[in-house]
Chain A
């Protein structure tokens, strides 16, 4: 492991969680969660998380709402949004709410590795 900080993945899709695990699993320690609620729970009880990868479109509570709650819980946490479509408005809203970047699906492994390396505290 290149760093002791963990990466928290919040995505309701198993396929996406497993894909991120494939790409990042060998380099970083990951915590995979399938809902925003679970992700917030993990974040509240762990102090070694250095980055969150958060899906923008999820059922029940949207990724942007989770981002708001997450930032209230830990204002300094780096969050990268994962989105299915390039929407300037959503990206702008995510950045204004405190996300440090966003990745568009289907993503490239190099892109993910580079962004995680850059933003992991």
Chain B
């Protein structure tokens, strides 16, 4: 029923490779749409190639027929998951209906593939084994699938061209588009379906694509576009050479063996595999140096330098983005009071005799001038914080004093305060008490705001402890540029947790951005200032939040 067919080996390898790439990407962030759709796509490639590996190894025509239909179904979904990946990357909500219709059409095609001969009508038998045979509607179907796929790629191309994507997203978009163009080469595998006897090697390009996509999603921030292409090229060419060499050696040896000995032997393929394994490393180095010499002209130092330049460019983009957020925030915060002052001043001559107007004028104009004054002070603090006046401070006493300061507010809002202070926190730590109190107050006042109708506020200190936040959260949302050594044991962590409504993941990313606020009152500078103060103390601040459960801020400070 089944026999060992060496032609199936590259298919099995591609299947294993793409499935592994898909699982790695999914594991990195299973909530992200791009990661999920990438996994679906990898799964389809894996299902397609493994199904054909079974077809190739099958000596039973019926099994080959069923499995080639399974492979064809995977290919159909390959187009729709690919489009899902592209369109979802651009805007999952905007293209939601389009993606959904794609999957629905995929389901209809799957039913047609298994229940009729319209798309596939049996199998061909070629030198490499059985292969699916195109039915009368196979050609229009693949043309339709191509159109759907090209529409998605064109949407991404337009977004890149019209500068709708910026920063990291633009870099990712370029990689993804390149990956998709390469993936289209997989269409070579349609040719043998029409009775033309060539080995369907198009699936090999999927390795190239999977490499680009995995790099893009996992490490795009520090990878130069050229380096991605280079690495992908090296491995794709290597893989293609190995596959072709493997197949040629087997074909030739089998022919020779059959002529001289009179029968086929699986020993030949075993020898071929050993031969290839010996050749693998020198071959890889040879291809790599060839590509380096003729295409990339870059030593590892040069690559490192390019990576550093790219990193700087990304940092600069992020800085510009922060300045842009700051500017628009300042514009809004200043223009509101300015508008009120301007309008009241304009109407002053004609409304002077209206006592009601005079009262409003005095109240509103005064208040708005105070607002601008406050904002200017806060901006000055934010831009150029006062130098630290460090003092040996008893942290436990300091926290107790700060909490006492807010006691009336806790009582008023029915907030229960739970203190879990490490006995070690009586140790002295170097702080600027004024600035650090401001940092703590900003967090505590936020906690009170979100628990207006009561809740539990927990303050915990831990010496020499590992962070209570998960690594994933910490890298995603922490204060940038931590100065302390992550592995140092000489630090204290202060955790402030509330039982408020929690913060959405999207808002969490912007929580330390200046002028980001979800409150009715306030400038949105509080947490930016807190972050700045903690950073100036050589520490770092992290946040994690669960909707419906609450939010925790963790500050880590060195005390040695």
Contact = CB atoms under 8 A, between A and B. Distances in A.
Contacts of A14: 364
Contacts of B346: 109
A57 interface: yes
Q: Contact size class for A?
A: 10 to 19
Contact of B343 (A23, A59, A84): A23
Interface string A57-69: 1011000000000
A114 to B, nearest CB: 15
B520 A18 contact: no
Interface string A110-121: 000000000000
B344 A22 contact: yes
A105 interface: yes
B1 interface: no
Interface stretch (B174-182, B188-196, B333-341, B450-458): B333-341
A12 B249 CA distance: 77
Contacts of A106: 335, 338-339, 342-343
B332 A84 contact: yes
Contact of A13 (B336, B341, B347, B360): B336
A19 interface: yes
Contacts of A105: 335-336, 338-339
B512 to A, nearest CB: 18
Nearest to A87: B328
Query: Chain B interface mostly helix, strand, loop or mixed?
Result: helix
A16 interface: yes
A14 B363 CA distance: 11
B293 interface: no
Contacts of A59: 517-520
Given A19-B340, A59-B520, A84-B336, 12 more contacts: A15-B367, A18-B344, A18-B364, A57-B332, A59-B519, A60-B518, A105-B338, A105-B339, A106-B338, A106-B339, A106-B343, A107-B339
Which 5 A-B pairs give the minimum distances between C-beta atoms? A15-B340, A19-B343, A84-B332, A85-B331, A106-B339
15 contacts: A13-B336, A13-B340, A16-B339, A19-B339, A19-B344, A22-B357, A57-B332, A84-B331, A84-B336, A85-B328, A85-B331, A87-B328, A105-B338, A106-B335, A107-B343
